[in-house]
Amino acid sequence: MTKFKRDDTSGYPRCQWCRVVLPASDGRGRPRRFCSQACRQWDWVARQRADELALSENELVVAREEIDTLKDQIYVLACAIQDVQSDLQKTTRQSAESLRESLDWLLEAAIPVTQSSLRP
């Protein structure tokens, strides 16, 4: 099934499992909570497993490797932000090429973070 996305996602309902923006509703029936049957199933499995492990609704079980990878990506992004901020403060007038290099570095660090997801 196709995942639904919008450019401006603020204020739109999201899938309870994967957090993808849900399509607009026509107003009839219950509001959608999931973008697909697969997400509905993963949410059910997660709730069953959480009950077995006596986890509260606010606790998660995530593989250490996935958390470590996400932390590494966030660290690289933080370094890129710090570098770009430092570059912008050094001079008031920079060349277009210099600004482009800074933006490229920032995007190179940000894209993996936005594309990563914690899998069930």
Same domain, 1 and 56: yes
Same domain, 50 and 86: no
State yes or no: pLDDT of 7 exceeds 80.
no
Same domain, 71 and 29: no
Same domain, 16 and 35: yes
What is the model's pTM? 0.59
Same domain, 20 and 32: yes
Q: Which of 17, 41, 61 is the last residue of a domain?
A: 61
Give the pair of three-digit tokens for residue 28: 């009839």
Partners of residue 14 on adjacent β-strands: 21
Same domain, 29 and 69: no
- What ranges in the chain are assigned the alpha helix state H? 37-53, 64-90, 96-115
For residue 56, what are the domain limits?
1-61
Same domain, 52 and 108: no
pLDDT of residue 26: 76
Same domain, 74 and 112: yes
HSE, CB side, 13 Å, CA atoms: give it for residue 76: 16
Same domain, 67 and 37: no
pLDDT digits (tens, 9 = 90+) for 29-74: 888 899 999 999 999 998 898 899 999 888 878 888 988 999 999 9
- Mean pLDDT, all residues of the chain: 83
Same domain, 56 and 66: no
Distance CA 30, CA 46 (A): 22
Same domain, 40 and 89: no
Q: In angstroms, how far apart are the furthest CA atoms of the chain?
A: 60
